[in-house]
Structure 1
Amino acid sequence: MYRCLTRATLLAILALSGLLPAAVPAASLSDTIDAIRGAVVAVGTYEATRRPPANFLGTGFVVGDGTWVITNAHVVDKPLDPVKREFPAVFAGRGNEFATIEAKIVQTDPEHDLALLKLLGAPLPTRFRLAGGLPREGQEIAFTGFPIGVVLGLYPVTHRGIVSAITPVAIPAPSAGQLDANAIRRLSRPFNVLQLDATAYPGNSGSPLYDPASGRVYGVINSVFIKETKENVIQKPSGITYAIPVEYLQALMRKAGAGN
């Protein structure tokens, strides 16, 4: 008498007999962090006569051929002091052993709060690859950056969570009096942002939001721009974290001829 085998039993028999390929384990977040840590950089300005000479303003990450850095536009919109030869800078390395690399702001996208910097030096050896589209709601994500700055040295910190929603950057308020100029402008040209079940801090602005297994970037963490727009009717800002989707990074890079 023959018995009907369940699908699970049949797959197990085939796997044991070598007729099915062995499953390849997905990379752990720890493996991914080891692979991408060198591509997470601090962004700020440098002035030789200042103490300390480095002024940290946010986080960025290396893309393209290793000479391009993505960050938030609000991170690099501070006026520079040309008399004291202050210049935009990227700080790459780990701990107190890091290089200061002069950078040039090549493209900005104020509407989506993005900026693309060009390193004026040799390419950095580690860089991120961009994802082909949006993550799914409920999908696991991670981001790495400098939430408390670099006062203790260049030690990137990683947080993880999920994409809790893909939602409009601005939501109509119950009354016009609750809308400010930024909210009105963005309501006229709406776009979706990634709402995350994870906690970011001001220094995380510009951090890469990526897939924990592959390291591919889904967006850029934004701790200021989106919150001020989306939560304009809330008296006290929430602990929700937002990110700018990858499609706007790709458009900025194409405009600058920076590849993908």
Structure 2
Amino acid sequence: MQRLLAGLLALCVLSPARCAELTAVIPAVKRSVVGIGTFERTRSPSVVFSGTGFVTGDGLSVITNAHVVPDKVDEARMEQIGIVTSDGDTVRFRPAQLVARDNEHDLAHLRLSGPPLPALKLGDSDSVAEGQGLAFTGYPLGMVLGLHAATHRATLAAITPIVMPSLNSRKLDVRQLVQLQRTSFDIFQLDGTAYPGNSGSPVYDPDSGVVWGVINAVFVKGLKETAISNPSGITYAVPVKYVKNLMQQK
């Protein structure tokens, strides 16, 4: 954390205008960032956090990682999937319906009912270039220290295939073999650090807040770094063009 703050301070000294731009964008982005979780009235705690998501489209669509959304809920106990928001120390749960899931790209589309929320605009992820400055906002620690969104800067370090054949077949696992049999796709490799709670966080233009990708702190890392004995601190994101495809599914 000290190194991160030192890096941000140095960046602001060298380019105060860029820091000012992100400062202006963060409040707008945070209004669209939500927690993803489940609610069960008789459970303690009743709300269980599982990851981050963000609102887009008409203000009733929420995007997150597929692995963040449970495959099934306990219907007998009336467990519900939904979003988690906070007002100070008060946590609120709002039910949502899973309308589409893309397991190949680890994305999920939830739909809310009722009044819309502020929405983020989806950009053209094919136009993003290596070396470009990015930011992402989410809940790295979930509700452990309260539901307070945190923002990190990052650079698009590389655009790289999600999985590559291992030099040693003994390093391959079932998930990696399945992915190798599918059509490969490129992902964003970032030099920022994300945590499991960040899964589903929007990766966006720090100047405009336009979303270019979705943080994936678990699923992609498990594929990309299977052959590494000591996993790196690298963060990955799924390009937002796959979100656009998902939102067209009914």
One fold, TM greater than 0.5? yes
Which whole-Å CA distance do the structure 2 matches of 1:102 and 1:121 have between them? Answer: 10
Which whole-Å CA distance do the structure 1 matches of 2:104 and 2:23 have between them? Answer: 34
Which whole-Å CA distance do the structure 2 matches of 1:89 and 1:35 have between them? Answer: 21
Gaps of 5+ in 1: 1-24
Does 1:194 find its partner at 2:175?
Answer: no
Matches within 5 A, 1:205-244: 205-244=199-238
- Is 1:45–1:86's contact at 8 Å kept on the other side of the alignment? yes
Structure 1, 221-230 or 180-189: larger mean CA deviation:
180-189
Which whole-Å CA distance do the structure 2 matches of 1:42 and 1:55 have between them? Answer: 10
Which whole-Å CA distance do the structure 1 matches of 2:144 and 2:76 have between them? Answer: 26
Cα shift readout 1:67-116 (whole Å, capped 9, x = no counterpart): 11000000002531111111001012443244311011100000000000
Give the alignment partner of residue 76 of structure 2, picking from 65, 73, 83.
Answer: 83
Does 1:173 find its partner at 2:161?
Answer: no
Which residue of the partner structure matches residue 136 of structure 2?
143
Cα offset, 1:171, TM superposition:
1.3
Give the alignment partner of residue 28 of structure 2, picking from 35, 43, 53.
Answer: 35
Which residue of the partner structure matches residue 62 of structure 1?
55
Which residue of the partner structure matches residue 106 of structure 1?
99
SS of the equivalent of 2:248 reads: helix
Give the alignment partner of residue 121 of structure 2, picking from 122, 129, 139.
Answer: 129
- Is 1:94–1:155's contact at 8 Å kept on the other side of the alignment? no
CA RMSD, 1 decimal: 1.4
TM-score, normalised by the number of residues in structure 2: 0.88
Cα offset, 1:181, TM superposition:
1.7
Gaps of 5+ in 2: 1-16
Structure with max Cα Rg: 1
Which residue of the partner structure matches residue 18 of structure 1?
none
Cα shift readout 1:31-71 (whole Å, capped 9, x = no counterpart): 10011211000000001111221100000000111111000
Percent identity over the alignment? Answer: 48
Give the alignment partner of residue 113 of structure 2, picking from 120, 126, 139.
Answer: 120
SS of the equivalent of 1:161 reads: strand
Which whole-Å CA distance do the structure 2 matches of 1:28 and 1:40 have between them? Answer: 19
Cα offset, 1:175, TM superposition:
2.6
Which whole-Å CA distance do the structure 2 matches of 1:65 and 1:93 have between them? Answer: 21
Which whole-Å CA distance do the structure 2 matches of 1:152 and 1:119 have between them? Answer: 26
Which residue of the partner structure matches residue 239 of structure 2?
245
Cα shift readout 1:157-206 (whole Å, capped 9, x = no counterpart): 00111000000000111132221122122222210000000000000000
Looking at secondary structure, tell me which structure has more helix per residue: 2
Q: Give aligned pairs, total.
A: 231
Look up the equivalent residue of 2:238 and give its one-letter code: I
TM-score, normalised by the number of residues in structure 1: 0.85
Structure 1, 188-197 or 76-85: larger mean CA deviation:
76-85
Which whole-Å CA distance do the structure 2 matches of 1:236 and 1:77 have between them? Answer: 28
SS of the equivalent of 2:30 reads: helix
